Amino acid sequence: MPENLRNLRRKREIVGEIQQITRAMKLVSAAKLKRTLTWRDATQAYFSEVEAALALVLANAGPGFTHPLLIERPVERIGLLLVAGDKGLCGAFNANVVGAAREFIGRQRARVQTMTVGTRTAEMARRARLSVTREFPAINERQRGADVQEMARHLFGVWQAGSYDAVHICHAQFISRMRNTPVVERVLPTRLPQVMIDPRPVIFEPDAARLVDAILPQYVIARLFQALLSSAASEHSARLMAMSAATDNAQEMLTQLTRQINRARQAQVTRELLDVVSGADALQV
């Protein structure tokens, strides 16, 4: 067998093996995306209930009521929680999130320190010359929420200690299976959106202040949980599209290699026939 034909067949085998891997990763990403979206929808219902309850309590807590998590400060130091993917093969997903963090830091006059989630995110943040002060471990099962409690405790601690005057989170916001966009949202001090409140008088037990102390931290934790789920869904969708494109490219390469193999084999057969004809002509002479 000619060397060229042997190399082409070997290349076709390698591309076929790569296509099997990318197709399997595509199916795995699709399954993970579906599971994450299910958890995100369930979390959204919980978040809406917590938000409505908190708004109701704050509306009836009195005009002079305040809470440490709601107090605005002069912003001199900012903490930025950076959430990206801890695995590759997802296109420009991680680079886009880190790029959004760099743009946010570039617009700030205050000093910004970064807290990262995952080893790969920390490496990319340092490569982008961001000041990383805390590394949280990678969250393999974001939907369980165990790691969110640790993050929230750390954020509450540095906020109450006065280490930061504002805390933001940078993550990818899931829009659709084909689109996600990096966003930066403020977590502390907490901003409550406008919610329709029932004007009828409400009796609280226990009192409104104690209820706010109990509900407000849960509201912040729910916001962090939503951001993590949105980032996870965006990562899975980005990897799904990347693996889908890789599978299609591999199929195109297989088609081209098959054509090249057929041409090389046809050329080999033609050369052999010419050798036979030439030998027969030589014998006749």
> Which CATH number covers residue 174?
3.40.1380.10
**pLDDT, greater one: 204 or 198:** 204
Cα Rg of the chain (Å, integer): 29
Find the mean pLDDT for residues 163-168: 91
Query: Does residue 172 register a pLDDT over 80?
Result: yes
What confidence tier does 41 reach under pLDDT thresholds 50, 70, 90? confident
Please check whether residue 45 lies inside any domain of the structure. Answer: yes
Q: What's this model's pTM, rounded to 2 decimal places?
A: 0.82
**Which among 80, 65, 33, 10 is positioned nearest to 208, based on CA atoms?**
65
Query: Does residue 59 register a pLDDT over 70?
Result: yes
Question: Where in the sequence is the domain holding 159, given as residue range(s)?
Answer: 27-240
- What CA–CA distance (Å, rounded) separates 70 from 217? 11
Please check whether residue 19 lies inside any domain of the structure. Answer: no
Please check whether residue 93 lies inside any domain of the structure. Answer: yes
End-to-end CA distance of the chain: 31
Number of domains making up the chain: 1
Is the omega angle on the peptide bond into residue 217 within 30 degrees of 0, that is, cis? Answer: no
Torsion sign, CA atoms 251, 257, 263, 265:
negative
3-class state of residue 166 by DSSP: strand
* Residues belonging to the chain: 285
Please check whether residue 63 lies inside any domain of the structure. Answer: yes
Please check whether residue 112 lies inside any domain of the structure. Answer: yes
Torsion sign, CA atoms 227, 228, 233, 237:
positive
**Which among 42, 82, 93 is positioned nearest to 237, based on CA atoms?**
93
- Give me the pLDDT at residue 81, please: 93
Find the mean pLDDT for residues 23-30: 91
Please check whether residue 145 lies inside any domain of the structure. Answer: yes
Query: Does residue 169 register a pLDDT over 50?
Result: yes
Asked if 224 and 83 count as a contact pair (C-beta separation under 8 A), the reply is: no
Query: Does residue 107 register a pLDDT over 70?
Result: yes
- What CA–CA distance (Å, rounded) separates 132 from 84? 14
Please check whether residue 196 lies inside any domain of the structure. Answer: yes
Backbone angles phi, psi at 26, to 5 degrees: -65, -45
Please check whether residue 7 lies inside any domain of the structure. Answer: no
- What CA–CA distance (Å, rounded) separates 142 from 225? 8
